[in-house]
Each structure stands twice: as C-alpha cells, then as structure tokens.
Amino acid sequence: MTNDKGKAVPSFLIQNSCCLGKGVLGDGLFVWWKRGIQVSQCSDREGLPATKAVDGNYSQNYQACAHTAPYQSKAWFQVDLRTPYRLNSVKIFYRNETNWRPYRFRQFYLDVSNTSAALSATLTPQSSRVRCYKDNTTYPATPPSVIDIPCRQTAQYVIIETTYNASENTEETGPMLEICEIDIYGCHTRCFGDTCYSNGECDTCGGGHWGQRCQYSCSSRCYIGSCDKHNGTCNRGCQRGFWGNNCTKNCSGHCLNDICDYDNGTCIGGCKTYFTGTMCQNCLPTRYGGDCEMSCSTNCLNETCHADNGTCTFGCDGNQVDAKCLQCNDN
C-alpha cells in the first residue's frame, strides 16, 4: 500500500472518530481515519465535552471546542492512545473568535507520559512525564491559535495542561482550556524505522512481527524469527526441523542434521545412517526395523529384505528354507 506520494512517511494521524475521513494536510503529513483512542479532561463545561476535540470539526468557535469548567486550580485535557506510539508532532487548534482571542492559551504546556494526567503530577523530577513544549506568552500578547509542536517521544498519553488564569477572565476565573481539535502524528512502536503510511500501516515491521500495524507475531519456527509482513508466511525459511509456509510441519526425523526443503519437506542434506528416500522415510534395502537398526540376513539374495519384518525380498541365495533365510535345508 502506498500513499498519495507513493512512499511511507514519518507519521500518520492517530485519532478517533467513527467514519471520519480527511485528505492530505501538506507535504509529508497525512491524515488518517481517526480511530481507537480515548479523550478526557479534568472537568466539562456543560455541553462541551472532551470529544469535541476529536470530532473532525476544525472550527475554532466556542461551540465547536472542548471546554473545561471555571474555578479550578489546574485545567488539563488528554488523549489516551491506548498503547504507546512513537510520536512525531502534535497540532492543536484553539478557540479563536473576533471577540475572544486565545487568552487562556497563554502559559500552557504539552506533556507526554505513559501515565494518565489524572494520576501523574505536573512535571517534576519524579514525574513520569516528558515535556515537549511550554508556552511563555505574557499579557497582552496571545499565542497562535493553531500550533504544530514537534514531539519526538514514545508515549501513550498526550496531555495539555495549564495553571494560568487569564487577565481577561472577569465573570469566571481560574485556568481553563478550550481545545477545538487536536491532531497527533506518529507511528506504532512496532513499525521499523518509524515510518508508516497515511492509513497507519507500517512500511516495514520490526523483528518478529507482521500485519498492517505489525500487530501479529511471526511463528517462532520462522528462520531468525522473520516472516512476510502481509501474510505472516516464513519467507526466509524455517528453523531447523520444520517446513511449510508457516513452518508448521516437521521434517522427517531421519533427515541428516534435521534439515529439509522449505517447500516440500524433502531432506536436502541427505539422510541419517541406514535411511534412504526423498524424505528419508525408508530403510536401506539391507536394513530393517523401526529405526532400521537391524541388518538383513547375509543369506538373503542380494542381502535385501522387507523393512518391516526382515523377510528376504527376493528369497535366499542358498538352500535356506525359512522366510529370513536363516535355516538350511538338511536334505
């Protein structure tokens, strides 16, 4: 699978919204169907929950944004990606209207973590968080209402947080966030080289995985744990002793060094002592027994016998009378 430019890119949009689709957002940044995440915030202003920030509506008007409640000591909004991703960047669309600029966006910070904002403290030496960005805008200036922040970290949670109480707050006070939309770009940690297509499919899988997002493990019987990215077949062969597309079949126990052909199981290095046949399934003509451990009688014609019971295949070469040519005719 390829994207519009026919190549893999450093990241795709890791988001969630049922059946939301969008196109290319510029060179090298591709938007994928928003999927499989959870969003939350410290508090909800009535009718403006956290899901407003991942609904695909990029309007920056009040009613289109997730909004935390006033009168808090700290406001936070977070995206839970459900599993760690190698992140590339985070793009935030903040409320911005003619009569209300991004005043409350001053002094915000962007952290990433493997622990929820509800459980992890603001960045401290003991915190599990990593800070990707801290805004230093001061009154009366305002930060940009759309900001694209590089954030090359591996994390499950993306957290926007503030303790800033804007001077423009008059009737309602305390730090508040008004996130209209958030786009998070990155690739699954199992993607080799941190490159993936615009639909989230990994360009190449890291060792031992296959599938669109390298979500499946190759068979432990694949040679050096490597398999085809698209169907999981062991495309570089099998570990010693196995054969077949998924190395599910056992080589004959009589192949020399337990090595057999990947496609058909034939013993390509020869057979162990006393065995013969393409899969070393037969005893040599002069041997018999379950492991070909016994010799045919030297009185058998050509010293050949049946492998299962040792009776002479072509009769005796002398005057012996029994099936194994062991007893002589006394007459």
The residue length of the chain stands at 331
Is 27's pLDDT higher than 50? no
Q: Based on the fold, state whether residues 16 and 151 are members of the same structural domain.
A: yes
Please tell me whether residues 250 and 123 are part of one structural domain. Answer: no
Asked if residue 232 and residue 148 are part of one domain, the reply reads no
- Least Cα distance to 46 among 76, 62, 64, 69 occurs for 69
182 and 246 share a domain?
no
Higher pLDDT, 284 or 189: 284
158 and 55: one domain?
A: yes
Q: Is the pLDDT of residue 32 over 50?
A: no
Question: Residue 197: its pLDDT value, please?
Answer: 78
Compute CA distances 257 → 123, 224, 241, whole Å.
58, 18, 8
Task: Tell me which DSSP letter residue 168 carries.
Answer: T
254 and 158 in one domain? no
Range ranked top by mean pLDDT from 17-31, 58-72, 115-129: 58-72
Q: Answer for the pair 108, 190: CB distance below 8 angstroms, yes or no.
A: no
- Report if residue 263 sits inside a domain: yes
Judge if 300 and 188 occupy the same domain. Answer: no
How many whole angstroms from its chain centre is CA 54?
Answer: 24
- Amino acid (1-letter code) at residue 250: N
pLDDT in tens, 165-194: 999 998 899 999 999 999 998 888 888 877
Q: Do 26 and 93 belong to one domain?
A: yes
Least confident of 7-11, 162-166, 286-290, 304-308: 7-11
Q: Which range is most confident: 15-19, 131-135, 169-173? A: 131-135
- On whether residue 265 sits in a domain, the answer given is yes
The answer, as to whether pTM is greater than 0.85, is: no
Q: Specify whether 33 is located in the same domain as 125.
A: yes
Residue 196: pLDDT band by 50, 70, 90 thresholds?
Answer: confident
- Has residue 327 been placed in a domain? yes
Name the domain boundary from 132, 161, 194: 194
Report the chain's mean pLDDT, rounded to a whole number: 85
State the residue range of the domain holding 33: 12-194
Mean pLDDT of 93-102: 96
d(CA 234, CA 102): 55
Q: What percent of the chain has pLDDT over 70?
A: 85
What average pLDDT score do residues 12-23 get?
A: 39
Burial track 104-116 (b if 16+ CB lie within 10 A, e otherwise) = bbbbbbbbbbeee
Q: How far is CA 14 from CA 41, 103, 112, 198, 302, in A?
A: 18, 28, 14, 10, 75
Residues 92 and 72 in one domain: yes
Q: How far is CA 323 from the centre of its chain?
A: 64
Comparing CA positions, the residue from 141, 146, 133, 134 lying closest to residue 180 is: 146
Is 207 inside any structural domain? no
Residues 34 and 159 occupy one common structural domain? yes
- Structural domain tally of the chain? 3
Instruction: Collapse the DSSP code of 202 into the 3-class scheme (helix H, G, I; strand E, B; otherwise coil) and give the result.
Output: strand
Phi and psi angles of residue 217, each rounded to the nearest 5 degrees, phi first: -95, 140
